[in-house]
Structure 1
Amino acid sequence: MNYLELPPQPHPLVSYLRVGSLLHWSLILFLLESWFYWVQFEASLEQFSLFWVAFWFGCFLFSFVHIFLVIMDGWSRFQNYKRAKDLFFIHGFNSRIAEMYAGSKCQRNAAIVAAEELGYKDEIISYFRSKGVKWYHYFPYFMAQDPLFLFRNYFWERTFLEKVYVSRFDYRRLHLERAI
């Protein structure tokens, strides 16, 4: 694809919100859960019950830690989106590029948003359907294939610690140049 065919491009913040929409809803849920568990924890302190203090504090910690994990996951998916968008822009739609992001719902969503912004939404949706991916496949496939995934470096690096990717193109500027 050359920049003469480039559709109108959204602001990067809009793309960020679209890429991580599931994660952003999860973030809101974990914030609400943390608040609820903290209120329960404080109430249990007044009852002097060690069991309930430990229970509610454990629930709070679980939910509170997930706030940061979801934020890091959303940031990593945005890095996937930028890389996928550059690859689709340079090479056009290519199933090998789409396959790199087929592992989880969030990664697929990053690739779908990138492809959609370049006019390849139908192609990538068809590709994922041809691979047997269903709309309800939320959990990453590697979780079923490797039950010890939490102890693997690839899980932490790919899920939460994706390296910052700087896009090679300013898509909004390219689109505006075409409009002139």
Structure 2
Amino acid sequence: YMLNISIQHGNPYWIIFWVSFFLFSFVHIFLTIMDGWSRFQDYKKAKDLFFSYGLHPRVANRFIGSKCQRNAALQAARELGMESELKKYYSEKGVKWFHYIPYFMVQDPWFLIRKSFWKRTFMEKYYKPRYDFRNIVLEVVA
């Protein structure tokens, strides 16, 4: 509606503003969906790795980089009964509850131009779980 009004009035500044606003909105929605996809892949990896190796520092450190990755790992650990140990480990490593900004963003101000950022954050490959946890639970219950 606002873009249409700006076009009718012919004001190029408002037209550019509203086009930019709509493009940002579209890109933001897409990136949010892709970030959710990537964190789900992290969750599946974390659950498989915790199930296979237990709460090993190399496994836990793989997901320490950002709040979203830690949340994915914590959910996987919660489902395997290791949540309190993982929280304690992250606390010992200096992770605080208010550490929302990923550590690599603070350490590397040029992260936006790095291929690894885009690949790890938004374009994580599909991860096929090694274990079928639904059947494992049914076997334990039966």
TM-score range, shorter chain: over 0.9
Greater RCO, 1 or 2 (C-alpha within 8 Å, sep 6+): 1
Q: Which residue does 2:59 correspond to in 1?
A: 97
Alignment of 1:8-157 (within 5 A): 39-157=1-119
| Alpha-carbon distance, 1:167 to partner | 0.3
Amino acid at match of 1:122: S
* Structure 1 runs of 4+ with >3 Å offset: none
Q: Deviations over 1:119-176 (max 9, x none)?
A: 0110111111111212221111111111111111110111111111100111011101
Structure 2: where are the runs of 5+ without partners?
none
Work out the CA distance in 2 between the residues paired with 1:40 and 1:123: 52
Work out the CA distance in 1 between the residues paired with 2:70 and 2:97: 11
Give % identity.
56
Q: 1:119 to 1:64 in 2, by over 3 A?
A: same
Work out the CA distance in 2 between the residues paired with 1:49 and 1:119: 60
Q: Deviations over 1:47-79 (max 9, x none)?
A: 321111111111111121011111111101111
| Alpha-carbon distance, 1:45 to partner | 2.4
Amino acid at match of 1:98: A
Work out the CA distance in 2 between the residues paired with 1:40 and 1:95: 53
Work out the CA distance in 1 between the residues paired with 2:60 and 2:16: 45
Amino acid at match of 1:117: E
Work out the CA distance in 1 between the residues paired with 2:9 and 2:75: 50
TM-score (norm 1): 0.75
TM-score (norm 2): 0.94
Amino acid at match of 1:110: A
